[in-house]
Amino acid sequence: MSEQKTFKVTIDNITVDVEAGTTILQAARKIGGDVVPPAMCYYTRLQHSGGYCRTCLVRVAAGSTADPRPMPKLVASCRTPVMDGMVVENITNPAVLEARKGVVEFLLINHPLDCPVCDQAGECDLQDLSFNHGAEATRYEFKRRTFERIDLGPYIQLHMTRCILCYRCVYTADQVAGKREHGVLDRGDHSQIATYIQESLDNEFIGNVIDVCPVGALTDRTFRFKNRVWFTKPVEAHRDCPTCTGKVRLWMRGDDVLRVTARKDQWGEVEEWICNECRFEKKKVSDWKIAGPTRVDRHSVISAGHYTNILKPNETFSAIMDGQKPKQLMDIHDVSEVNNVDLNEIKGPATGATFDGNPKSSGVNVTDIKTGEGRNLEGTDSTNPNTP
C-alpha cells in the first residue's frame, strides 16, 4: 500500500498524472485554466471541508480503467478521489454547466447582494462565481432571509445575511484556532453561524476565519468601511512574531497600512495562518519589514492596481489631440466655495455640521474598538482607530 502510485485522469480531454488519493478538483488545479471547477466551501488546508456548496459538481464519464461505468449522479469534485483512468467532464458537459448555474442561483436567492456596501466586494468568491457561472438575473421574487449583525468581539463582525454556510470558519476554528466557540445553529434555510450565547471569539488565531470566509459574512472590524479593496495595494511583509510565522500581506493606501491579511495563493487559499496580533494590532509601516509588492494572479478586481505590468498607451494624449495640450476642465480646490471651509482641515467623514460653521466636527460613527460586542443594530461600525 505504501508504494507511490500515480493515476492518469482525463479532465475535459486533458490527461494528467496525479498521485493516488488526489481529488478531482486538485487534479484539475494541476491542469489549471478553465477546467478548474469553482469551489466555494472546499479549502485545501482544512480537513473535511468541501462537498457542501455543490458548485464544483462534475460528471464522471468513466469511473476507472478497471470499472469504466459512469457515475450515476454528478459528483462533488472536491471530495471525490480520482481513480486510474477516470474520465471527467466539466466544462465540456452542458449538464454540468446547467447544474452549476442552478447552484449559483440557489446560493444567491438569500444573499443580500449588497456588494456596493460590502467590504468583501472585489475579493469575493461569490461575486466571481456568479459572474463566471451564474445567470444574468434571478427568478426569485420573495423576501430574502435576513439576520442582525453581530459583533463577535473587538475584531470580527458577523453579518449572517451574507453567509452561504460553507462551514469553512467552523473547520478553521476547529483545526487552526484549536478551541471552537461558534458553530452552526438551527437547520435548513434558517440555519446560521452563531456562538449560541452571544460572546466574543477570542482565540489568538481566530482572525483567520475572516480570510477563509468566501463572502462578506465575517469581516475585519479594524478595516470595515475604511476603503475598497481595489484601492489598496497589496504588499508582502513580515515581522518577528512570537506566535505565528509573521508572514503577511499588507493592504496599503499611501503610507497607511489599512489591513493585514494572510498571504493567499492563486486559488485564494491562505498559505500560512497568522495570529490576531499581526492581523489586527500591527497597523503601522514601522511594525513590518516590507518585502515588495504582491502580484495577485486572480481574476477579480483586486488584481487591478498592481505596481507591476503597467501598460502604457501607445498614443499619448497630445498625439490624439493633434498636438494640443489638454485644457483643465475642472478646478480641484482646497477651500469649499460654499462657506470657505478649508477642506484639508476636515478629519474623518464629513457631515452637515462640518459645513455648518463647525469645520472640525466630523461624523460620530466611531465605536470603541476594544469594547464593542454583541448586536450592532445601527449597522454602523467603523472602528476607525485613526479618527479622533
Q: How many other β-carbons are positioned within 10 Å of the β-carbon of residue 44?
A: 17
Nearest to 173 by CA among 204, 151, 217: 204
Out of 9, 103, 229, 260, which residue is the one contacting another protein (CB under 8 A)? Answer: 103
Interface region with another protein, contact rule CB under 8 A, candidates 114-122, 178-186, 236-244, 272-280: 178-186
54 binds another protein (CB under 8 A): yes
Beta bridge partners of 89: 59
Out of 52, 225, 230, 355, which residue is the one contacting another protein (CB under 8 A)? Answer: 52
Contacts of 158 (CB under 8 A, 6+ apart): 149, 150, 151, 152, 193, 194, 217, 218
Q: Cα separations (Å) of 36 from 27, 255, 311, 336?
A: 9, 37, 28, 53
139 binds another protein (CB under 8 A): yes
Residues 63 and 70 sit within 8 Å (Cβ to Cβ): yes
190 binds another protein (CB under 8 A): yes
What cell numbers appear for 226 in the block?
A: 475604511
94 binds another protein (CB under 8 A): no
Site for another protein in 290-319 (CB under 8 A): none
Helix (H) or strand (E) holding 16: strand 14-19
With CB under 8 A, what is the number of residues at the site for another protein?
Answer: 34
Query: Rounded distance, CA 328 to CA 305, Å?
Result: 25
Residue 65 or 191 having the CB closest to another protein: 191
Q: Within 13 Å and on the Cβ side, how many CA atoms surround 200? A: 14
Interface region with another protein, contact rule CB under 8 A, candidates 30-38, 160-168, 237-245, 322-330: 160-168
Helix (H) or strand (E) holding 7: strand 6-11
136 binds another protein (CB under 8 A): no
Interface region with another protein, contact rule CB under 8 A, candidates 16-24, 82-90, 134-142, 242-250: 134-142
Nearest to 384 by CA among 251, 157, 224, 150: 224
191 binds another protein (CB under 8 A): yes
Residue 55 or 354 having the CB closest to another protein: 55
Cβ at position 206, least distance to another protein in Å: 20
158 binds another protein (CB under 8 A): no
Out of 5, 69, 73, 360, which residue is the one contacting another protein (CB under 8 A)? Answer: 73
Q: Interface with another protein by CB under 8 A: which residues?
A: 50-55, 57, 73-74, 76, 79, 98-99, 102-103, 105-107, 109-110, 139-140, 142, 164-165, 167, 183-184, 186-191
